[in-house]
Structure 1
Amino acid sequence: MTAVMSQPVSAAKAQDIVAMNVNLMINARHLQKKDLAKALGIAPQTISKKLRSEITWTINETQAAADFLHTDVATLLNPNLTTSELFGINKTAAPDDSENGGQLVAGHGFEPWTSGL
């Protein structure tokens, strides 16, 4: 039995992943690209090109973007990042015998009115 080694993320692919995730976070959080550009110390036109993967991200810019977005560089490099993960909307860790299959359940105050009045 041979062990499967994971391949390192290529620089070009990493650039695309960072651009994709920064775009995802900006849009999901309704942030302004010009504010990100200011945080990175670059022109708004330059950030637009970075977000389209036309210009590469330096390590320092990637860290500055992570700081601006209140996340870490590893999150920006996550090729499977979803909007749900950004907002912490995940299934609970409840085991399948919890009768809800690990699904989120609405908290107190979300129950329908059943008083019949």
Structure 2
Amino acid sequence: MKVFIAIRQTSQKDLAQAMGIAAPTLSQKFSGRTRWNMDDIEKASDFLDVKPEALVAGQGFEPWTSGL
């Protein structure tokens, strides 16, 4: 997700605001202290203009490969 933030030339603060959460809360999500949920992923993907699966690929949650 940090790559998409850099590509879009935005900031974590802007992403947090778009997601409706405080910047420290987003920082906790990035550090792994707080879990991401599907609502978080959807809001972040809308803001970053990418498909939600682009944000979770390689993170252990890849619904298109479940059952393999």
**Residues 9-48 of structure 1 correspond to what in structure 2 (within 5 A)?**
22-48=1-27
Q: Indicate which of 43, 58, 62 corresponds to 2:37.
A: 58
Q: Match of 1:30, as an amino acid?
A: Q
Deviation at 1:51, TM superposition (A): 1.3
Find the aligned partners of 1:78 and 1:57 in 2 and give their Cα distance.
13
The letter for the 1-side match of 2:48 is L
Residue by residue, what CA displacement relative to the aligned partner does 1:42-91 show, whole Å, maximum 9, x if unpaired?
00111111111211011101100000000111111222xxxxxxxxxxxx
For the 8 Å contact 2:28–2:34, the answer to whether it is kept is yes
User: Letter of the aligned partner of 1:70 in structure 2?
Assistant: D
- Code of the aligned partner of 1:33: Q
- Higher RCO (C-alpha under 8 Å, 6+ residues apart): 2
Residue 27 (structure 1) shift: 2.1
Q: Could you tell me which residue of structure 1 aligns to residue 52 of structure 2? A: 73
Tell me the residue number matched to 2:64: none
Q: How much has 1:31 moved relative to structure 2?
A: 1.0
What is the total number of aligned residue pairs between the two structures?
Answer: 58
Structure showing the higher helix proportion among its residues: 2
What TM-score results when the alignment is normalised by the length of structure 2? 0.76
Asked if 1 retains the 8 angstrom alpha-carbon contact of 2:8 and 2:48, the reply is: no
> Residue 30 of structure 1: CA displacement?
2.2
Aligned residues: percent identity? 33
Q: Unpaired runs of 5+ in structure 1?
A: 1-21, 80-117
